[in-house]
């Protein structure tokens, strides 16, 4: 039986030194990865349009821009906006109504919030049964309409603005208070309301359409938009056509629209925000592959005339590319 000679103290020290040197080398190689800055993008829950949009942005920024961006799902916009305002997340996505509300003076104000810009329009409608005699928003006069969205206060503002476009107000309808848009759709299904308001492209709209044998979106009169903007100045009309996303659209028509925003915190470095916009602009096809709603994304489209402060890094990008702010409507 062959015996192994005992290791001398000197040899042991050499081995220990070699092992220590190897570990230090490995740590040095791994250091850039371990020390890389991680950026969080706060979104709504999985399954929502905003979560998909955030996932698309995070994927492109990570794979094409080398930025370690992670999606941080939250309970909703009233949760995620303060997270970005407190720098607990570096980016956030929310509709312009929520962002405006968060940047007004008063309780809950987020003074450190800064815009990156408008990602794409959100389009909504009042839906009725396909065989209803109602054609336009003004026909809701005297009908049962969901109002008083206790858990979604900004939706109440949008509903009021949309009614105003039809020349009516909440005083002209029979109010059916609801906490949120899901409950509003369920009330419509149960026969407790004559209409429901929801965003185009949402699974719930397809569900209601299939359940009741067809729904139809009420038209918004363009002539009423001045009255509508006196209530919510950032609403506008965009043209939509029949298709898989636009359930309930029987022909080309105008849909009430408002912007879905990307925003950040003032503490995020200018060069980081600049690089984010540059990367998203250069890799739009990758964005659309994950989130089709981002077909309307562009760096030029980001820059609109909101009375909310933009991040300096975004402003530098717009200036370098010769981009001027577009009208918010």
Residue 34, pLDDT > 50, answer: no
Residue 256: per-residue pLDDT:
97
Residue 2: per-residue pLDDT:
41
This prediction has a pTM of: 0.78
Residue 266: per-residue pLDDT:
97
107 pLDDT band (50/70/90 cuts)?
low
Q: State the average pLDDT over residues 169-173.
A: 97
Q: Which has more confidence, 19 or 184?
A: 184
What the chain holds in terms of domains, given with CATH numbers, is 37-121+259-320 (3.40.190.10), 122-258 (3.40.190.10)
Q: State the average pLDDT over residues 4-23.
A: 45
209 pLDDT band (50/70/90 cuts)?
very high
CA–CA gap between residue 159 and residue 305 (Å, rounded): 23
CA–CA gap between residue 32 and residue 34 (Å, rounded): 6
CA–CA gap between residue 123 and residue 62 (Å, rounded): 29
Share of the chain above pLDDT 90, in %: 70
182 pLDDT band (50/70/90 cuts)?
confident
Long-range Cβ contact pairs of 295-304 (< 8 A, separation 24 or more) = 295/120, 296/120, 296/121, 297/119, 297/120, 299/323, 300/326, 301/117, 301/118, 301/120, 301/326, 302/116, 302/117, 302/118, 302/119, 302/262, 302/277, 303/117, 304/117, 304/118, 304/259, 304/328
Q: State the average pLDDT over residues 231-259.
A: 94
Residue 127, pLDDT > 60, answer: yes
Cβ neighbours of 289 (radius 10 Å): 13
42 pLDDT band (50/70/90 cuts)?
very high
CA–CA gap between residue 206 and residue 200 (Å, rounded): 9
CA–CA gap between residue 133 and residue 105 (Å, rounded): 44
Q: What does the mean pLDDT of the chain come to?
A: 88
């Amino acid at each position: 039986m062959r015996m192994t000679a005992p290791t001398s103290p000197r040899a042991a020290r050499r081995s220990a030194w070699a092992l220590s040197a190897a570990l230090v080398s490995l740590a040095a190689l791994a250091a850039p990865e371990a020390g890389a800055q991680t950026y969080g993008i706060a979104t709504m829950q999985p399954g929502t349009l905003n979560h998909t949009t955030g996932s698309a942005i995070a994927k492109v920024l990570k794979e094409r821009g080398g930025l370690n961006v992670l999606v941080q799902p939250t309970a909703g916009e009233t949760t995620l906006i303060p997270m970005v305002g407190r720098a607990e997340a570096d980016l956030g996505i929310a509709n312009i109504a929520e962002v405006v509300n968060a940047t007004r003076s008063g309780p809950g104000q987020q003074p450190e919030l800064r815009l990156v810009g408008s990602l794409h329009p959100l389009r909504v409608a009042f839906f009725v049964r396909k065989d209803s005699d109602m054609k336009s928003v003004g026909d809701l006069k005297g009908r049962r309409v969901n109002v008083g969205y206790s858990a979604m206060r900004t939706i109440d503002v949008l509903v009021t603005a949309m009614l105003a476009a039809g020349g009516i107000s909440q005083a002209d309808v029979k109010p059916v208070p609801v906490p949120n848009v899901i409950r509003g759709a369920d009330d419509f299904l149960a026969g407790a309301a004559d209409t429901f308001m929801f965003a185009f492209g949402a699974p719930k709209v397809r569900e209601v359409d299939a359940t009741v044998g067809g729904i139809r979106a009420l038209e918004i009169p363009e002539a009423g938009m001045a009255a509508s903007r006196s209530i919510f100045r950032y609403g506008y009309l965009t043209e939509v056509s029949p298709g898989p996303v636009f359930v309930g659209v029987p022909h080309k028509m105008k849909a009430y629209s408002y912007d879905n925003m990307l925003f950040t915190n003032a503490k995020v470095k200018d060069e980081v925000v600049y690089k984010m916009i540059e990367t998203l602009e250069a890799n739009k096809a990758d964005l659309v592959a994950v989130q089709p709603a981002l077909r309307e994304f562009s760096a030029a489209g980001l820059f609109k005339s909101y009375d909310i402060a933009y991040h300096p890094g975004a402003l530098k990008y717009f200036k370098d590319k010769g981009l001027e702010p577009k009208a918010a409507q």
